[in-house]
């Protein structure tokens, strides 16, 4: 990798490592969409990073031929998981890439999957660079695609083993979901069924869990784990301005402003008083 004296890591990768998917406890994996993981070699991290448009100079100029193992594995994993998947690093997703912004995160083959990362994903470039700098393992993750409405994704905040806040996950550009007015209570109930197991297996850190709520044939909702993040200085707090604002409520943006609904009690250490 090319050295750059002024480049500074944007977050503490060692502190975040416990939330990388390849380091998840079994209880988290069991409550997430079905997935496949491939541990990346040092050469593959370098070669993958070298292909990222506009950022390849951060990495050793290894040829794309070094990615042949990844390409074969991606095609196999995507086929095994039904042909509609999302691909990401175990650290973060490439949601900032041009491919993702133009066509979404759903992929059907290795070429689309690699394009998710190499079409300018700064998030992936940063994580690959830090993994190489600090000798932190990374994996490529292929996960079965789930269809759910945007308003049914929530970010749940946990501090000291306590569920202390929740928010609509997608909130940029004034996103407003009228559907949450009638579904908020049901979605929180689904989260309340999921979170005790996540919290019980969690490391001793403040965390943000991204949760998708899916309708069931019986007309209820079930929640699945999408991602986990440490609550650090760069963590997106959604509709909260700062950690001190956590109020044991779900917040969502409605026509009238920010609406709130009290979080239900959990069958564990509970919610903030």
Q: What is the pLDDT of residues 122-150, one digit of tens each?
A: 999 999 999 999 999 999 999 999 999 99
What is the band of 1 on the pLDDT scale with cuts at 50, 70, 90? Answer: very low
> Per the domain annotation, does 13 fall within a domain?
no
Mean pLDDT of the chain: 93
Q: Kindly state whether residues 124 and 189 are assigned to the same domain.
A: no
The pTM score is 0.93
What is the C-alpha to C-alpha distance for residues 60 and 58, in angstroms, rounded to an integer?
7
Q: Kindly state whether residues 125 and 229 are assigned to the same domain.
A: no
> Per the domain annotation, does 58 fall within a domain?
yes
Domain endpoint, select from 144, 173, 203: 144
> Per the domain annotation, does 225 fall within a domain?
yes
Residue 228: pLDDT above 90?
yes
> Per the domain annotation, does 83 fall within a domain?
yes
Q: Kindly state whether residues 139 and 154 are assigned to the same domain.
A: no
What is the C-alpha to C-alpha distance for residues 235 and 186, in angstroms, rounded to an integer?
26
Comparing CA positions, the residue from 247, 243, 161 lying closest to residue 196 is 161
Structural domains in the chain (count): 2
Q: What is the pLDDT of residue 272?
A: 58
Q: Kindly state whether residues 257 and 204 are assigned to the same domain.
A: yes
| Cα 211 from chain centroid (whole Å) | 9
Which pair of tokens denotes residue 267?
């069958």
Q: What is the pLDDT of residue 175?
A: 85
Share of the chain above pLDDT 90, in %: 85
Those residues whose C-beta lies under 8 Å from the C-beta of residue 8, and which sit 6 or more positions away, are: none
Q: Kindly state whether residues 138 and 161 are assigned to the same domain.
A: no
Which pair of tokens denotes residue 217?
């044939």
N residues, the chain:
273
Domain endpoint, select from 144, 169, 185: 144
What average pLDDT does range 48-75 have in this prediction? 95
> Per the domain annotation, does 14 fall within a domain?
no
Q: Kindly state whether residues 187 and 140 are assigned to the same domain.
A: no
> Per the domain annotation, does 20 fall within a domain?
no
Handedness of CA 176, 28, 207, 141 (dihedral sign): negative
Domain endpoint, select from 81, 114, 144: 144
> Per the domain annotation, does 210 fall within a domain?
yes
Domain around 103: 34-144
Residue 268: pLDDT above 70?
no
Q: Kindly state whether residues 171 and 130 are assigned to the same domain.
A: no
């Amino acid at each position: 990798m090319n050295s750059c004296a002024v480049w500074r890591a944007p977050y503490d990768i060692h502190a975040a490592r416990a939330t990388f998917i390849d380091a998840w406890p079994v209880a988290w994996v069991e409550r997430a969409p079905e997935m496949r993981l491939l541990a990346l070699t040092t050469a593959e991290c370098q070669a993958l990073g070298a292909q990222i448009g506009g950022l390849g100079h951060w990495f050793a100029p290894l040829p794309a031929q070094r990615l042949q193992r990844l390409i074969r594995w991606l095609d196999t994993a995507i086929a095994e998981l039904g042909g509609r998947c999302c691909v990401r690093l175990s650290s973060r997703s490439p949601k900032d890439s041009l491919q993702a912004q133009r066509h979404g995160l759903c992929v059907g083959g290795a070429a689309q999957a690699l394009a998710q990362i190499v079409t300018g994903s700064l998030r992936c470039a940063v994580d690959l660079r830090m993994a190489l700098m600090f000798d932190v393992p990374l994996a490529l993750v292929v996960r079965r695609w789930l269809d759910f409405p945007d308003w049914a994704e929530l970010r749940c905040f946990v501090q000291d083993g306590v569920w202390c806040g929740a928010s609509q996950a997608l909130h940029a550009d004034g996103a407003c979901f009228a559907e949450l007015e009638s579904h908020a209570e049901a979605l929180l109930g689904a989260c309340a069924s999921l979170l005790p197991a996540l919290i019980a297996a969690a490391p001793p850190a403040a965390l943000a869990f991204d949760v998708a709520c899916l309708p069931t044939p019986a007309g209820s909702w079930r929640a699945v784990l999408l991602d986990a993040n440490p609550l650090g200085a760069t963590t997106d707090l959604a509709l909260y301005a700062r950690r001190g604002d956590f109020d044991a409520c779900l917040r969502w943006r409605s026509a009238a402003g920010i609406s709130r609904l009290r979080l239900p009690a959990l069958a564990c250490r509970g919610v903030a008083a």
